[in-house]
């Protein structure tokens, strides 16, 4: 049996969805049908949202779960009037926070994901451009890199670099080890010269072969034999140079990125 | 006066940081010194975290705020023992959720950002590759695009496409309007043939000029006059074709991306 869940917000809904989703993953066996209702920022939209929730309640024969981060209390009340169980992620915490901080909150819709801080916005944009121009070994001038991800082709370097840029404003280059690199006795000089910036990504050869198959089926590139050879060579070169190695096989992009930030102890401004 | 805030988690800390940050933005005038402590997944690490928190409490002369999403209750108790005010984002909601769902939660560390769902992971990776190979008008074969973002150079198309890919698994291409396009009486045919996929991005000419200045100062490209001309031409072509237009000037990438998903009513699987 599937339960219906709504994420309702007068802003983007990103916060409601992130916490709601994290809570729901703690109920592993259950299935949830999920709907986002962002930008519910007028009374009319709030009433439309309630109509949709109530319609679902009748269809499901039980009341939907609603995770909200409404700032506007009038709109929050309208949502509370629906046939649903509301989890209000803000109201639970605002009062104890006010007590701790000794001041009243100044409600500001969408502030969490607005672009109030132009400087940090520009840092993220600059980092994204950096990732795009230093992707896949395109440039090996690493003077301005915060990090350089090294690994075999399809080990997850590009999405990780983009995530590091978009979320943390970190300039991450990436370099794919070539056949020549893997036949050598050590990592290329232009990498070793930047040893403190290096992070190795690796992946189980079986999974790598699967991923490569979807691109080039039945090729040497995607064969398990070749994948095993490349992964072994890459790992041994990285170990020899004392580069930290992250396994990407069962990790999401955000998990790998968070581990890298934590491992390299990078404290960037918060966005 | 600045208050110290810690985001502590046995997983990536992304959930703790997202909700904690959203709550703190409601206290506009205050300054917060923020630290992430992710992957606190052993008793030793939890005790180290407490030592760091307590050290800060002494240094600050008041108790730090700690936002946590600890799944492991033993570790949560260790954190609770620190000289700090703990906001436990999970424990507040797990019990009422258990009541609603009629089952006990099955604690699972890091489940929120793990890669348990291989299919959705692959959808995001495929979308990221799509964005990279269909960036900046590189390819105008839009057969597999979910969306096509159209706008002048530096209006925010590339980071938005990447965010749509990494977060929503949406395949978004982008096309920058050229001088030739802007001199014409309508959008290029290969865009009009995909009208339902089009989204226009626009930006205030003053802001655009600032952004371009950092790339090419004192050029025709970055002059306010040229920026005004391009923005006006682009907006009028988009309006003529009936394409929805989003203003990016005061919006973050996640806000623009969320607005697009909402406006185009795209319901993608949740990640």
Convert the pLDDT of each residue in B2-37 to its tens digit.
899 999 999 888 889 988 988 998 898 889 999 999
Do B211 and B138 reside in the same domain of the chain?
Answer: yes
Q: Are residues B39 and B96 in the same domain?
A: yes
- B271 domain residue, yes or no: no
Q: Is B44 in the same domain as B66?
A: yes
Contact B250 A114 (CB under 8 A): yes
Element (H, E) at B128: helix B118-133
Per-residue tokens: B189: 């045919």
Q: How far is A181 from chain B (nearest CA, A)?
A: 25
The per-residue pLDDT for A122 is: 81
Q: Provide the b/e sequence for A241-265 (b: ≥16 CB within 10 Å).
A: eebeebbbeebbbbbbbbbbbbeee
Chain A residue whose CA is closest to B64: A100
Instruction: Report CB contact under 8 Å: B12, A163.
Output: no
Q: Is B269 within the bounds of a domain? A: no
Together in a domain, B124 and B258: yes
Work out how many domains chain B is built from and give that number: 2
Same domain, yes or no, for A194 and A154? yes
Alpha-carbon B212 to chain mean position? 23
Task: Tell me: do B150 and B42 sit in the same domain.
Answer: no
- Answer for the pair B41, B102: CB distance below 8 angstroms, yes or no: no
CA A108 vs. chain centroid, Å, equals 25
pLDDT at B51 over 90: yes
Is residue A123 located within the same domain as residue A255? yes
Please say which residue of B113, B144, B165 terminates a domain: B113
- Examine the domain organization and report whether B249 and B123 are in the same domain: yes
Domain span at A216: 118-263
B34–A3 CB contact, under 8 Å: no
Return the half-sphere exposure (C-beta side, CA atoms, 13 A cut-off) of residue B62: 10
What is d(CA A223, CA A210) in angstroms, rounded to the nearest whole number? 9
> Tens digit of pLDDT for each residue in A255-266?
899 999 988 888
A115 pLDDT exceeds 60? no
Q: In terms of Cα–Cα distance, which of A7, A163, A234 is closest to B128? A: A163
pLDDT of residue A271: 43
A85 falls within a domain: yes
A218 phi-psi bin (left φ>0, alpha ψ -120 to 50, beta other)? left
Q: Is residue B14 part of a domain?
A: yes
Q: pLDDT-derived band of residue A146, with 50, 70 and 90 as boundaries? A: very high
Same domain (yes/no): A249, A140: yes
Taking one residue from A and the other from B, the number of pairs with CB-CB distance under 8 angstroms is 209
Report the SS3 class of residue A32: strand
Question: Measured between CA atoms, how close is B258 to chain A, in angstroms?
Answer: 6
Are residue B93 and residue B140 in the same domain, yes or no? no
- What confidence tier does A112 reach under pLDDT thresholds 50, 70, 90? low
Integer angstrom CA distances of residue A90 from A16, A109, B25, B85: 9, 12, 11, 17
Which residue from A30, A158, A259 is facing B101, i.e. has the nearest CB?
Answer: A30
Q: State the nearest Cα–Cα gap between B236 and chain A, in angstroms.
A: 26
- The residue assigned the tokens 């009062």 is A95
Nearest-10 crossing angle of helices A73-80, A43-60: 20
A103/B166 touch (CB, cutoff 8 Å), yes or no: no
d(CA A156, CA A130): 17
Q: Which of A113, A132, A161 is the last residue of a domain?
A: A113
The verdict on residue B255 lying in a domain is: yes
What does pTM read for this prediction? 0.82
Domain end (from B84, B113, B142): B113
Q: Where are the alpha helices (DSSP H) in chain A?
A: 14-24, 43-60, 73-80, 91-101, 118-133, 157-168, 179-183, 189-192, 205-215, 224-240, 253-263
| Separation between Cα atoms, residue B202 and residue B238, nearest integer Å | 10
The phi-psi region of residue B110 (left if phi > 0; otherwise alpha if psi is between -120 and 50; otherwise beta) is: left
Q: Which residues of B touch A85 (CB under 8 A)?
A: 96, 100
CATH number of domain containing A257: 3.40.50
**Residue A269 located in a structural domain:** no
Residues in chain A with CB shorter than 8 Å from the CB of B9 are none
What is the predicted pLDDT for the residue at A57? 96
B157 and B216 part of one domain = yes
| % of residues, chain A, pLDDT over 70 | 94
Whether A271 is covered by a domain: the verdict is no
Find, among B66, B6, B28, B92, the residue nearest to A104 by Cα.
Answer: B28
In eight-state DSSP terms, residue B38 is -
> How far is B62 from B78, CA to CA, in rounded Å?
19
Examine residue B268 and state whether it is found in any structural domain, yes or no: no
Query: Are residues A270 and B71, on separate chains, in Cβ contact within 8 Å?
Result: no
Q: What is the pLDDT of residues B185-233, one digit of tens each?
A: 999 999 999 999 999 999 999 999 999 998 899 999 999 999 999 999 9
Question: Does residue A193 sit in the same domain as residue A236?
Answer: yes
Indicate if the pLDDT at residue B250 is higher than 80: yes
pLDDT, residue B252, reads 86
A196 confidence band (pLDDT: 50, 70, 90): very high
Residue B267 pLDDT grade (very low, low, confident, very high; cuts 50, 70, 90): low
- Whether the per-residue pLDDT at A116 is higher than 60: the answer is no
């Amino acid at each position: 049996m599937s339960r219906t869940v709504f994420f309702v917000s007068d802003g983007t809904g990103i916060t409601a969805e992130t916490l709601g989703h994290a809570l729901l993953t703690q109920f592993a066996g259950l299935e949830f049908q999920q709907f986002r209702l962002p930008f519910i920022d007028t009374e009319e939209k709030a009433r439309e949202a309630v109509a949709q929730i109530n319609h679902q309640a009748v269809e499901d024969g039980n009341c939907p779960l609603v995770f909200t981060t409404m700032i506007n209390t009038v709109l929050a009340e309208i949502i509370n009037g629906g046939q649903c169980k509301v989890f209000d992620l803000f109201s639970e915490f605002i009062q104890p926070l006010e007590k701790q901080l000794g001041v009243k909150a100044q409600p500001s819709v969408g502030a969490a994901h607005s672009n109030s801080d132009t400087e940090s916005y520009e840092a993220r944009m600059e980092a994204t451009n950096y990732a795009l121009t230093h992707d896949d070994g395109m440039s090996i001038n690493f003077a301005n890199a915060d990090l350089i991800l090294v690994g075999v082709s399809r080990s997850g370097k590009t999405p990780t670099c983009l995530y590091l840029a978009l979320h943390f404003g970190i300039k991450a280059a990436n370099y794919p080890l070539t056949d020549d690199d893997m036949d050598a006795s050590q990592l290329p000089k232009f990498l070793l010269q930047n040893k403190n910036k290096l992070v190795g990504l690796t992946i189980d050869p079986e999974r790598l072969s699967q991923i490569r198959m979807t691109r080039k089926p039945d090729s040497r590139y995607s064969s398990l034999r070749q994948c095993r050879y490349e992964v072994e060579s890459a790992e041994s070169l990285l170990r020899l140079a004392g580069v930290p190695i992250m396994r990407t096989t069962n990790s999401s992009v955000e998990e790998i990125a968070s581990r890298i930030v934590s491992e390299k102890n990078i404290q960037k401004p918060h966005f």
